[in-house]
Amino acid sequence: MHHHDDHHHGHSHDHSVTGANEKKVLLSFFLIFTFMLVEVVGGWLSGSLALLADAGHMLTDAAALALAYAAFRFGRRGADHKRTFGYLRFEVIAGFINAITLFAIVIWIAYEAWQRFNQPHEVLAGPMLIVAVIGLIVNVLVFWILTRGDTEHVNIKGAVLHVMGDLLGSIGAIIAAAVIYWTGWTPIDPILSLLVALIILRSAWKLLVKSLHILLEGAPDNATPAQLKDYLCQHIEGVADVSHVHVWLITSGRALATLHVRPKLDEQAREVAQAVEHELLTQFDIEHVTVAIDWNQGKQQRSKAQHATSCSLENIDAQALAGHHHHH
């Protein structure tokens, strides 16, 4: 038997937050994309790899923002008969693609820098400095826009990481331009490009890990099956046992759970299931919970060696794995 009382999901605040996120992302996209074109021309005319590296990063940045915007638009579409969770996962896929493109950019910068070390290019420090300074101003503006309001969202986080990389890229280009202008030492250009590449690599790795965790149905950090079982057994009076616990994220900040609960008395089943739903929502922010009741009838015959009334944490992993062979 599944118990599924009315859920009061906390979605009401999401729409205004998402609307604000959409506007931020769209405005940032136009600013970044426009300046990226300026930077490509500036990098090509001045012969600066640091500028081209930053422009390459800005290209993925613009793509990231475009993907994030598309993800918000898709995420708003409701569920249908084929996609029962709607398009919420789309934004996680957008974050994953972001990370992969960042890795590609890092490889390109590293290759180009190696070429420059072997065969130094002439760099025009004047135009390079002007473009880099404008780039810094644009990045600071975009960073300010994106960090207003909600910054925990996986896509906003992804976009902010990109812009931070861009900011550092612009600072690197300014330093390179100044050094070349005063000393004429051109190897500073590929050296600073590689430093920017390392910063991008760190951002990409974090984003990849986070998006993959969600795509692989990973549990939230604060709500592992062991933590849930432990909490419910300790805090809900009528719970005899909790088993077959599955917790996963459908998208950033939206957790779901299914679990089997055995009440101490069968008559308490409804109250226990309601209490479980309430606790998981208030304590762990899990808004959609499916509780299956394990009845006591017929269990009296089982041997006590099976720990029929166990509410300990033992075998939690085995129970989670065995969760695909449920008998209701």
Residue 326: per-residue pLDDT: 45
Structure tokens, 109 = 């910068």
Domains in the chain: ranges and CATH: 2-215 (1.20.1510.10), 225-324 (3.30.70.1350)
How does pLDDT run across 195-207, given as a tens digit for each residue? 878 877 887 898 8
The amino acid present at 227, given as its one-letter code, is Q
> Rounded to the nearest 5°, which phi and psi values hold at 98?
-50, -50
Distance (Å, whole) CA 286 – CA 247 = 9
Least confident among 47-51, 103-107, 242-246: 47-51
How does pLDDT run across 5-17, given as a tens digit for each residue? 444 444 434 545 6
Averaged pLDDT, 288-294: 91
H or E element at residue 213 = helix 188-215
Q: Are 260 and 279 in contact (CB under 8 A)?
A: no
Residue 153: per-residue pLDDT: 72
H or E element at residue 222 = none
Q: How confident is the model at residue 86 (pLDDT cuts 50, 70, 90)?
A: confident
Q: Are 247 and 224 in contact (CB under 8 A)?
A: yes
Structure tokens, 31 = 């600013």
> Rounded to the nearest 5°, which phi and psi values hold at 293?
-90, 125
H or E element at residue 92 = helix 90-118
